[in-house]
Homo-oligomer: A and B are copies of this chain.
Amino acid sequence: MSKLLLTGFEPFLENRHNPTEQIVLELDEEVVGEFEVISRVLPVDYERAAEMLIEYVDQCEPAAIMMLGLAADRTKVTPERIAINVNDSVEDNSGNAPVDQPIVKGGPAAYFSTLPIKKMTDALVENGIPAEVSNTAGTYLCNNVMYSVLYALEQKEMDIPAGFIHVPPTFEMTLHHSAHTGFPYTSIRDSIKLMIYALSDD
Residues of A within 8 A of B (CB): 73, 75, 81-82, 84, 86, 100, 108-112, 118, 125, 128-130, 132, 135-136, 138-139, 171-172, 174-176, 178-179, 181-184, 187
Contacts and interface: CB of A to CB of B under 8 A. Distances in A.
A10 to B, nearest CB: 22
Query: How many copies of this chain?
Result: 4
Q: Which 8 pairs show the lowest CB-CB distances between chains A and B?
A: A110-B110, A136-B136, A109-B110, A75-B181, A135-B136, A179-B179, A181-B181, A128-B171
Contact of A130 (B125, B130, B139, B181): B181
B175 A125 contact: yes
A111 B128 CA distance: 36
Nearest to A133: B88
A126 to B, nearest CB: 9
